[in-house]
Amino acid sequence: MTSQLPAPAESLATGQRSLGDPSVRYPLWPPLTEGCPVTSTDSVAYPVEVDYAYDKLPADFFATAASRPRGHERWAPLLPPLHAPGLAEGGTPLLPLEDGVWLKDESRNPTWSHKDRLNRVAVSAAAGAGAAGVVVASSGNHGASAAAFAARAGLRCAVVTSADVPPAVDAFLRAYGAAVLPVPIEQRWSLLRRIVERTGYHPVSNLTPAAHTGHGFGPEGYKTLAYEIFAELGTVPRAVFVPTGYGEMLFGAWKGFAELVRLGYAERVPRLYPCEPAAGGPLAATVRAGALTHVPVGPTAAYAIACPVGGHRGVVALRESGGGALLVTDEEMAVARAELARNGVWAELSAAAGLAGLRQQVARGGREGDGPVVCVSTSSGFKDRDLLAPGPSAVVDPKDWAGVERRLRG
Amino acid sequence: MTSQLPAPAESLATGQRSLGDPSVRYPLWPPLTEGCPVTSTDSVAYPVEVDYAYDKLPADFFATAASRPRGHERWAPLLPPLHAPGLAEGGTPLLPLEDGVWLKDESRNPTWSHKDRLNRVAVSAAAGAGAAGVVVASSGNHGASAAAFAARAGLRCAVVTSADVPPAVDAFLRAYGAAVLPVPIEQRWSLLRRIVERTGYHPVSNLTPAAHTGHGFGPEGYKTLAYEIFAELGTVPRAVFVPTGYGEMLFGAWKGFAELVRLGYAERVPRLYPCEPAAGGPLAATVRAGALTHVPVGPTAAYAIACPVGGHRGVVALRESGGGALLVTDEEMAVARAELARNGVWAELSAAAGLAGLRQQVARGGREGDGPVVCVSTSSGFKDRDLLAPGPSAVVDPKDWAGVERRLRG
């Protein structure tokens, strides 16, 4: 049934193909949600990506961008079909941090994280496929974002989450009417799969525990990061520092820049720097080992990017852009988070990994100090687990001016 | 010293004048933060507003808006001088809710509320006046927003707050390095005044307990709401529903629309509907009584707009726009908040007052059902006091499929 669904006229998407072997192609519908069944092996699971009729793109597509509606609609020809209604996702500001250094503040999205770029596309795939709902494994931003877009599209949403989901995020998930299902972490993937099989809900997050393949359409939504940065700077930056968990945003940003090169708007892609938690960096480990590597994840408060395994998308982005995999400690992220706060941006700890990566790279004599450089900040401080510590501020006695003065000095 | 400070070239601001008697004028510097000393009486405290050299505005100012940088910079000629650096404030999306009804989602601001429009301007006044810091009385969005802009400008910030500040908001305030000073509510104004007098910090919220006069420059920042709505719709809407506490945003939005009429872009201003909590609506009471009226504030979870006294700004906006003062119950706000969540927008309870007002107006046979109508949603659900109730989601046993199914049905 869904294979006959026509794409909205604006999308130039033509089909899916394997990221392991681009000659392995599939029709656009149905969206593949478990990677490429042909090229994947026991040791490497290859995702699919979407291909487009790039030759049909109007020559003035980027020059006229600002005159088109905001949200993914602005870039619809280069995205999978947008069957689900939007929330004016993306279009986030590039804030100057210092000369040549820009912050892409993704907390300005509809659910205050970058995940909205993916979920507009992934929930559109679910709507286009005729699913009654979506299901997502997430302890945070991804789940809330999926829940919001599902609600707006009139679809049900189930979020399989971990038992230690931060309280504010739990409330956030339930606010959009999602069914929140906390389970012990090792049972996440099996419950997700069971829900897909028994209810027909469309999975908008990863379904393959061996390595991350995720949704075939979703990461295409992150291409808009590259389009926006190019449109606003008028050029591609020298480098982009990206907080990285499974590497979907990293890949999407790379692909967007690669399309700019392919279309003749840019001469090169920026060097991309995935910034993983030092407590566990599967992409860094994979680069070192030369093969997909699982890692143990030690204690870290950067829960949004703490993953034991990455995926092939990150490997492609890193290899093709000539960047480097960085590992940043919780302490380095906390320092970067404080620097962002001094600049008026309250970021989640994980969100500060990009700036932490830049600072580390420069401190070690790296070459990216001369800009223009963009650090992506993925989300707001409201998402952090340590939000409610250390307790509320103590009440002040206004008559005790010396006490007030001490508090003013901080 | 500060009276010699030149305004940045872009601002067409010429001076301040009383809202009680427009013939009473003051120079632009220093900004008046306690209302108009000449026209105010014991019974009515009149704020000041800012006047501009409207005749110097380029004729294509609105037509070329999209080509100018985002943030208040886009509208700088019609704002007080922007001495403090910005955070790309404003520029929030108008989301379609249904045919003819639009939601202005102010949670897409730098600190995720409408207050950023005011604080960019008020903190600029502090920077322009050479103050070492700013001080604000607030239990939420206003304080966090002031703290963010102060941090970005390199100014200190003190937030005099109530002892029952929600935990997430307390963390939010401290994140930007503000000194958070919880005091019993009845001591708020006296401590604020004491800090101003003893430290020279510039007050960016109200300083006059008798009636709200607030900062003379700050509410000018809300004019951008009107500019953006006009630029995006290509016309002025029939009506705008505005969650209302002290009425600063209500006034700013009205003034922005009135300027559009004055400049020849529009023929009329929209009818403005301030939506106050039924637990205490000082503007509605003032309209009924024909004189500034204090009200007792009963129990309400809409803490962001629960005020015992309003101010003359709201009276002007209501009188000049021909709208009406609405009182919405917590229950009506909760229903509107749920409607917003079904549309993918997680709003604070107070933020849903605008949509609650529209729904009430239509249910009672009001005339605003035919659109285009705009409801302002001021902030995100992360700010609510009831955020952490009712406790975390219970853990699921994935082997108990019947239990999972019950949860999926919700």
Q: Residues B293-315, buried b or exposed e (16+ Cβ, 10 A)?
A: bebebeebbbbbbbbebbbbbbb
b/e sequence B94-116, b meaning 16+ C-beta within 10 Å: bbebeeebbbbbbbbbbbbbbbb
Interface test with A, best of B67, B396, B405, B406 (most A CBs within 10 A): B396
Report the DSSP pairing between strands A239-243 and A133-137. Answer: unpaired
> Checking DSSP bridges between strand B202-203 and strand B133-137, what pairing results, if any?
parallel
Would you say A355 and B143 are in contact if contact means Cβ atoms under 8 Å apart? no
A71: chain B residues, CB-CB within 8 Å: 93
* Domain boundaries defined on chain B: 2-69, 94-112+218-388, 115-203
Q: How many angstroms away from the CA of B22 is the closest CA of chain A?
A: 36
Q: Which residues of A touch B175 (CB under 8 A)?
A: 341, 346, 381
A187, closest residue in chain B (CA to CA) = B398
| Nearest residue to A264 (alpha-carbon basis) of A11, A60, A90 | A60
A404–B181: do the CB atoms touch at under 8 Å? yes
Q: Using an 8 Å CB-CB cutoff, list chain A residues near B109.
A: 108
pLDDT at B6: 44
The second-level CATH assignment, the architecture, of B115-203 is 3-Layer(aba) Sandwich (3.40)
At residue B388, the pLDDT reads 58
Which uninterrupted H or E stretch holds B96?
strand B94-98
pLDDT of A1? 33
A189-198, B146-155, B254-263, B395-404: which range is least confident on average?
B395-404
Return the residue in A346, A385, A397 with the most chain B beta carbons within 10 A, the one to mutate for interface testing.
Answer: A346
Residue A60: count other Cβ atoms within 10 Å of its Cβ.
9
User: What's the gap between Cα B47 and its chain centre?
Assistant: 16
Tell whether B187 lies on the interface with A, counting CB pairs under 8 A: yes
Within 8 A of A407 by CB-CB distance, chain B residues are: 158, 179-181
Q: Whole-angstrom Cα distance, residue B410 to residue B404?
A: 10
Q: How far apart are CA A88 and CA A74, in angstroms?
A: 10
Question: Any idea what DSSP says for residue A51?
Answer: E
In the predicted model, is pLDDT for residue A322 greater than 90?
yes
A117, pLDDT greater than 70: yes
B274 touches chain A (CB under 8 A): no
What are A265's two structure tokens? 């708007």
Highest mean predicted confidence (pLDDT) among A188-202, B1-15, B102-116: B102-116
Starting at the earlier edge strand, list the strands of the sheet with B13-18. B25-26, B13-18, B48-52
pLDDT at B369: 65
**Least confident segment among B103-107, B386-390, B391-395:** B386-390
pLDDT tens-place string over residues B119-138: 999 999 999 999 999 999 98
The verdict on a CB contact (< 8 Å) between A393 and B71 is no
CB atoms within 10 A of CB A199: 17
Taking a C-beta distance cutoff of 8 angstroms, is the pair A352, A340 a contact?
yes
Axis-axis angle for helices B353-363, B330-342 (nearest 10): 100
**Quick check: bond before A274 cis, omega within 30?**
no
> Within a 10 A sphere around the Cβ of B243, how many other Cβ atoms?
33
With 70 as the cut, is the pLDDT of residue B9 above it? no
Of all residues in chain A, what percent carry a pLDDT higher than 90? 75
pLDDT band at B2 (very low <50, low <70, confident <90, very high): very low
In tens, the pLDDT along A323-344 reads 999 999 999 999 999 999 999 9
Give the pLDDT score at A43.
77
Are residues A194 and B392, on separate chains, in Cβ contact within 8 Å? no
| Two structure tokens written together for A284 | 């860094």
Is A75 at the interface with chain B, CB within 8 A?
no
CA distance B82 to B296: 38
Q: Scan residues 116-135 of A and list those with Cβ closer than 8 Å to B.
A: none
Q: How far is B314 from chain A (nearest CA, A)?
A: 29
**Interchain pair A167, B388: CB under 8 A:** yes
Within 10 angstroms of residue A195's Cβ, the number of other Cβ atoms is 25
Lookup: tokens for A228: 């926006």
Q: Biggest alpha carbon distance in chain A?
A: 76
Checking if the pLDDT of B249 tops 90, the result is yes
* Chain-centroid distance, C-alpha B399: 50
User: Which chain B residues contact residue A156 at CB under 8 A?
Assistant: 408
Q: Which fold has domain A94-108+218-388?
A: Rossmann fold (3.40.50)
Q: Percent of chain A, pLDDT > 70?
A: 96
Query: Cβ contact (<8 Å) for B199 and A408?
Result: yes
Is residue B180 packed enough to be buried (19+ CB in 10 Å), middle (13-18) or exposed (0-12)? buried
- In this structure, of A167-176, B70-79, B237-246, the range with the lowest mean pLDDT score is A167-176
Distance from C-alpha of A251 to C-alpha of A152, rounded to nearest angstrom? 27
Common-topology check for domains A94-108+218-388 and A115-203? yes
Q: pLDDT for A299-310, tens place per residue?
A: 999 989 999 888
The pLDDT score that the predictor gives to residue A3 is: 38
CB B137 within 8 A of CB B167: no
Kindly state whether A112 is in contact with chain B, defined as any CB-CB distance less than 8 angstroms.
yes
Percent with pLDDT over 70 in chain B: 95
In B, which residues are within 8 Å of A172 by CB distance?
346, 381-382
Interchain CB contact of A174 with B (< 8 Å): yes
**Nearest residue, CB atoms, A346 vs list B91, B172, B181:** B172
Contact A191 B394 (CB under 8 A): no
CATH architecture of B94-112+218-388: 3-Layer(aba) Sandwich (3.40)
Q: How far apart are CA A270 and CA A240, in angstroms?
A: 7
Model pLDDT for residues A365-394, shown as the tens digit of each residue? 887 767 799 999 999 998 887 665 556 678
Among the partner-chain residues A165, A175, A388, the one whose CB lies closest to the CB of B346 is: A175
Chain A residue numbers touching B183 (CB-CB < 8 A): 395-398
Is pLDDT above 80 for A276? yes
Give yes or no for A162 touching B (CB within 8 A).
Answer: no
**Among the listed residues B294, B216, B272, B285, the one whose alpha carbon sits nearest the alpha carbon of residue B35:** B216
Q: CA B390 → CA A167, A168, A170, A171, B387, distances in Å? A: 10, 11, 10, 9, 8
Give the dihedral of Cα atoms A297, A299, A300, A305; nearest 10 deg.
Answer: 20
CA angle, A30 then A125 then A354, to 5°: 120
Block residue for tokens 């009680």: B20
Cis peptide before A390 (omega within 30 of 0): yes
Instruction: Say whether pLDDT at B211 is over 50.
Output: yes
The token duo for B69 is 């940088």
- Can you tell me the mean pLDDT for B238-243? 98
What mean pLDDT value characterizes chain B?
92
Instruction: Indicate yes or no: CB of B187 within 8 angstroms of CB of A108.
Output: no
Shortest alpha-carbon distance between residue A353 and chain B (Å): 17
Q: Evaluate whether B132 touches B296 at the Cβ level (below 8 Å).
A: no
CB-count exposure of residue B209 (10 Å: 0-12, 13-18, 19+): middle
Interface of B with A in 307-366 (CB under 8 A): 341-346
Q: What is the pLDDT of residue A368?
A: 75
Cα-atom radius of gyration of chain B, to the nearest Å? 21
- What is the number of other CB atoms lying within 10 angstroms of the CB of residue B347? 31
pLDDT tens-digit map of A30-76: 999 989 999 988 778 899 999 999 999 999 999 999 889 999 999 99
Distance from CA of B39 to the nearest CA of A (A): 31
Query: What is the amino acid identity at position B323?
Result: G
Rounded to two decimals, the ipTM of the complex is 0.94
Distance CA B157, CA B150 (A): 6
The number of C-alpha atoms within 13 Å of B328 and in the hemisphere containing its C-beta is 35
A91-104, pLDDT tens digit by residue? 999 999 999 999 99
Alpha carbons B292 and B287: distance in angstroms, whole number: 8
B69 at A interface, C-beta within 8 A = no
CA–CA separation, B303 vs B335, rounded Å?
Answer: 17
A402 CB near a chain B CB, below 8 Å? Answer: no
Name the average pLDDT for chain A: 92
Whether omega before A27 lies within 30 degrees of 0, making that bond cis, reads no
Rounded distance between C-alpha atoms, residue B32 and residue B49, angstroms: 9
Question: DSSP characters for A230-262?
Answer: HHHHSS--SEEEEE-SSSHHHHHHHHHHHHHHH
Whether the Cβ atoms of residue B398 and residue B375 lie closer than 8 Å to each other: no
Alpha helices in B129-184 (DSSP H): 141-153, 167-175
CA distances from A20 to A48, A53, A205, A262, A311 (A): 8, 21, 20, 20, 11
A159 neighbourhood in chain B, CB within 8 Å = none
Yes or no: say if B184 and B172 are a contact pair by the CB < 8 Å rule.
Answer: no
Q: Which residues of A touch B132 (CB under 8 A)?
A: none
Q: Is residue A305 a contact partner of residue A245, using CB atoms and an 8 Å limit?
A: yes
Nearest to B186 by CA among B34, B308, B293, B33: B308
A312: left (phi over 0), alpha (psi -120 to 50) or beta: alpha
Q: Do the Cβ atoms of B387 and A171 come within 8 Å?
A: yes
Q: Which two tokens stand for residue B192?
A: 């604020």
**Ramachandran quadrant class, B196 (left: phi over 0; alpha: psi -120 to 50; beta: rest):** alpha
Taking only the tens place, the pLDDT of each residue in A199-255 is 999 999 887 767 788 899 999 999 999 999 999 999 999 999 999 999 999 999 999
pLDDT in tens, B50-82: 999 999 999 999 999 988 999 999 999 999 999
